[in-house]
Structure 1
Amino acid sequence: MEYCKCFGENSLRFLNILIFLKIMRRDVSVILLYDKEKRVLIQHRDDDAPTLPGYWAFFGGGIEEGESPVEALIRETYEELEYNIRNPKLMIVQKFGCKYINGEKHVYIEEYDENQKLVLNEGKDFKWVHIEDALELKMIKHDKEVLEYIKGKY
């Protein structure tokens, strides 16, 4: 069975469930936190993650039924980092898709509140990186497009 590049080899069961349930749309919200040094925070996803295994990506996740994109952003960011979003600014909405799934990615940006401690609850690592360095990492094309878009703006 052919599958999207965004799904890992361990994800065929996940894809079969999506197809069986006819869940073909998945909207997501992600946060791009940046610090005073103009670095962005990115997540190194687990090697067995159902989507984007081993990739570097933004923190965030799926918008659940009845949730607004901002509500999902707040929930996902707290679940993954124990970080409380304060004043997210919507930067861009990207459409994405492949053979099995499509949706919209709501990309928000916010300056990191140094008074809050980050606790990694999802993924194998995270780090602060300058955009130029992040562009050299294993990331999906539309995340790199977001980084190119914001380069020099924040």
Structure 2
Amino acid sequence: MIPRFGNPPSKGIRYRARPGAYAILPREGRLLVTCQLDPGPDLQLPGGGIERGENPLPALHREVYEETGWSIAAPRKVGVFRRFVFMPEYDLWAEKLCHIYVARPVRRLGPPVEEAHEALWLSPEDAAEGLGNAGDRYFVRELLRRA
């Protein structure tokens, strides 16, 4: 069974399946995260939706680059979770199926190309406290617990 984090689905709302790939990116004792500034500041694991016909790993590389400006290497899947949310940028109620990877940030290619995103380096402890959703926080805490 895939664990759910956050609110259960609300009755009467049709949720659209929205698979995504997200990365925990450790380097030199810190984690690379993204801050989505609009509609309000929200710390997130870099990543996002897997487009129709796209495989998860190319989506992961694309999304991390778009949201942080970094290239990554050696992604390794560590888990999956789901959550039911409203996505205002798409005007969509979604059942997000979040595939979580650990990968190595290799090189900064430039600033984030996705509008209203800022790349930040945080301590793993600060990331485990500050990430905006419980599933992201859980997987970062698991990484800390295993270290």
Quote the residue 1:104 is aligned against: 97
Unaligned runs of 5+ in 1: 7-18
From 123, 130, 133, give the equivalent of 1:137: 130
Measure how far apart 1:32 and its partner are: 1.4
Across the two proteins, how many residue pairs are aligned to each other? 130
Query: TM-score under structure 2 normalisation?
Result: 0.74
Quote the residue 1:28 is aligned against: 20
Larger Rg: 1
Q: For the structure 1 residues 124 and 86, does the alpha-carbon distance in structure 2 shift closer, same or farther, using more than 3 Å as the test? A: closer
Separation in 2, partners of 1:104, 1:46: 23
Quote the residue 1:43 is aligned against: 34
Q: For the structure 1 residues 82 and 43, does the alpha-carbon distance in structure 2 shift closer, same or farther, using more than 3 Å as the test? A: closer
Q: In angstroms, what is the RMSD of aligned CA positions? A: 2.5
Separation in 1, partners of 2:108, 2:42: 26
Q: Is structure 2 residue 46 aligned with structure 1 residue 54?
A: no
Measure how far apart 1:118 and its partner are: 4.7
Separation in 2, partners of 1:124, 1:138: 14
- Runs of 4+ displaced beyond 3 Å: 115-118
- 1:1-154 aligned within 5 A: 24-37=16-29, 39-48=30-39, 53-98=40-85, 100-113=93-106, 115-122=107-114, 123-137=116-130, 139-154=132-147
**C-alpha contact 2:15 2:84 (8 A) present in aligned 1:** no
Q: For the structure 1 residues 137 and 36, does the alpha-carbon distance in structure 2 shift closer, same or farther, using more than 3 Å as the test? A: same
Measure how far apart 1:94 and its partner are: 1.0
Q: For the structure 1 residues 118 and 91, does the alpha-carbon distance in structure 2 shift closer, same or farther, using more than 3 Å as the test? A: farther
**C-alpha contact 2:131 2:137 (8 A) present in aligned 1:** no
Q: Percent identity?
A: 25
Query: TM-score under structure 1 normalisation?
Result: 0.71
Measure how far apart 1:117 and its partner are: 4.0
Q: For the structure 1 residues 132 and 117, does the alpha-carbon distance in structure 2 shift closer, same or farther, using more than 3 Å as the test? A: same
Letter in 1 for 2:31: V
